[in-house]
Amino acid sequence: MTVSDLKLKIFRQIDSLEKNRLEEFYGLMMNYLNSKKDITDWEKLSDTQKKGLFEAIEEIESGKGKSNKAVLDKFRKKYSNA
C-alpha cells in the first residue's frame, strides 16, 4: 500500500464517522500527536507533584473520580442565579 493509498483509506474512515465518534477520534489523535512532542515537562515536576498525579490516577481507576459533566452540573446548579 502506498502512502497515498493509506491516506485515502484513513480519510474515508474518518469521513464516515458520526459527530460524537469524530470528536472522540480527534481527541485521541491529538493526544497521540502531542505525546510525541516533548516529555521534559514531566521531568520538571517535583516528586510531590508526580506523587499527587499518580495518586489521582489511582483514585480515578478505582472509581473514586467524578465525571466532568457531574462537576459542571453541580456548579452550574449552584451558581446559576449568581
45 and 81 share a domain?
Answer: yes
57 and 82 share a domain?
Answer: yes
Of 16-25, 35-44, 68-77, minimum mean pLDDT range: 35-44
Q: Which residue range is the domain that position 75 belongs to?
A: 40-82
Type of residue numbered 7: K
45 and 80 share a domain?
Answer: yes
C-alpha cell at 76: 452550574
pLDDT at 33: 83
**14, 25 Cβ separation under 8 angstroms:** yes
Q: How far apart are CA 40 and CA 27, in angstroms?
A: 22
1 and 25 share a domain?
Answer: yes
Q: How far apart are CA 27 and CA 13, in angstroms?
A: 16
Question: Would the pLDDT of 27 be above 60?
Answer: yes
What is the total count of domains within the chain?
2
Contacts with 42 (C-beta within 8 Å, 6 or more apart), sequence order: 50
Q: How far apart are CA 52 and CA 50, in angstroms?
A: 5
Question: Would the pLDDT of 37 be above 70?
Answer: no
